[in-house]
Structure 1
């Protein structure tokens, strides 16, 4: 078992507003710094150019094949598991340098799975990555920071466009779907402080029964189900990746009633919080 910490490790890119690289992995020792579970403090994109890469994101494993890309949100905990003759391009950009409309789109599509690209699109993104890498090396440019910011946003736009192309256009959303999307967005930003379906309904200026009807019709599950799932996901992250006690985690997630939190975790997962921790660290 790897050594745990009081909080989930965060890889900081504080010195970068936009970071980009292309790396080939020849042995497992090449990625030691990334094989431990962590978060990044930027929005991260991985483009699989050659070979294969196995990655775990929030307890889900993905195998990335050539001509695929994946986006990882700053809240998501991830680690590299392994690879075979892999060449990966990666880039990361912070909130301040992302165009506001791109930031909103990224929030809306999270979480995502790895996305297969057609050859033409893949070629365009690879060429753009190469150009951006060249830009990143031209530190003598008077508008260097602007150049990095604009090139980073171009790459983000290219990838987000591909995700959007494979999802239903918001213009075609039904009233139920639109409300469900709005609810999920509010939930992501408030799950620690707001636990009641009624309070989410108030934020949306609709009744609680109508919110439940919209969400259940769209997803098959109730508002309470989604609230509980989001809380438990964060609890799992902290149980697995930190050495905080269950009581500390309950407090972090907005529960002063520790026994209630314990019962909720057991109800949603089928096992106790301590059993989950021990099972995943055997």
Structure 2
């Protein structure tokens, strides 16, 4: 098996502008050329990784192959890619690329935008229409100009607001592509709230009743809402979120299955092993061995 870090690597997206916000536009001919550069955003590392903040990429030219949480995407212009800090990803191939990237952490992100991003996650890469792609490109160019004005009195506020404007543009495009509806149903509102609480508690809380209590709902009503909105009960979503994290840790870290089980809130290691095998269709060790060279 290829050598892995004990935990999944987290890459800090930093540059000379701001410790919480990064922005760049890069031109790279191929993977080999990128290996020789020191870049903050669009990496081509041999090891899959997470970012320490919300990351956004606009592919303006060229082609890219990107793996995000066990799914491989081949991306062409003009495409927006949003990657949540939880998501494990790796750029596996690309050629003749012009890409703009920006990233922002939770503290500097508009709270309403953060809530919307959490509700959207995970998302597919989104192909933009020509007109909106041009607006994105022009907005990035303006943001880059602002980033060079580090003597301005409100410099960091200017960066924050510029980055949030780009994030709002991204969110608006994903919402535009979403299923049209005049009114969000009560089922969907409850399910969105459940997903938010699940994301914060999946490692510690496994009981549908506990989630219902956190949301001040009965267990039966929470199940009714989630099943109506998604087709699956609350327990299914809890298990799937845990299994996704288990897959990430098995595939991208060197932690033992027992360590992973404990990290995900299972003191009963044999139970975790049986659950994984039941839901995935293979044992945890067999899943890990797929990463053999």
TM-score by length of 1: 0.95
Is the 2:55–2:83 Cα contact (8 Å) retained in structure 1? Answer: yes
Q: Offset at 1:167?
A: 1.8
Which structure has more helix as a fraction of its residues? 1
| Alignment-derived partner of residue 40 in structure 2 | none
Structure 1 residue corresponding to 2:160, chosen from 146, 149, 152: 149
Residue matched to 2:276: 265
C-alpha distance in structure 2 between counterparts of 1:270 and 1:141, whole Å: 57
Distance 1:79 1:219 in 2: 29
Q: Secondary structure at the residue paired with 1:76? A: coil
1:54 maps onto 2:65 in alignment: yes
Equivalent residue number for residue 7 of structure 2: 7
**Scaled by the length of structure 2, what TM-score is found?**
0.92
- Which of 78, 81, 92 aligns to 1:67? It is 78
Aligned-residue RMSD, C-alpha: 1.6
> 141, 146, 149: which one pairs with 1:130?
141
Structure 2 unaligned residues grouped into runs of 5+: 36-42
After superposition, where does 1:1-282 map in structure 2 within 5 Å? 2-13=2-13, 16-32=19-35, 33-35=43-45, 36-168=47-179, 172-282=183-293
Q: Once the 2 structures are TM-superposed, how far is the Cα of residue 84 of structure 1 from its aligned partner? A: 2.5
Give me the whole-angstrom Cα distance separating, in 2, the residues matched to 1:219 and 1:89.
Answer: 34
Please list every run of 5 or more consecutive structure 1 residues that lacks an aligned counterpart in the other structure: none
Whole-Å Cα distance in 1 between the matches of residues 260 and 181 of structure 2?
A: 36
Contact between 2:55 and 2:101, CA under 8 Å: does it hold in 1? yes
Cα distance in 1 for partners of 2:33, 2:170 equals 26
> For 2:101, what is the secondary structure of its paired residue?
strand
Following TM superposition, where does structure 1 have runs of at least 4 consecutive aligned residues deviating by more than 6 angstroms? none
1:172 CA displacement: 1.4
State the alpha-carbon separation in 2 of the partners of residues 80 and 148 from structure 1: 27
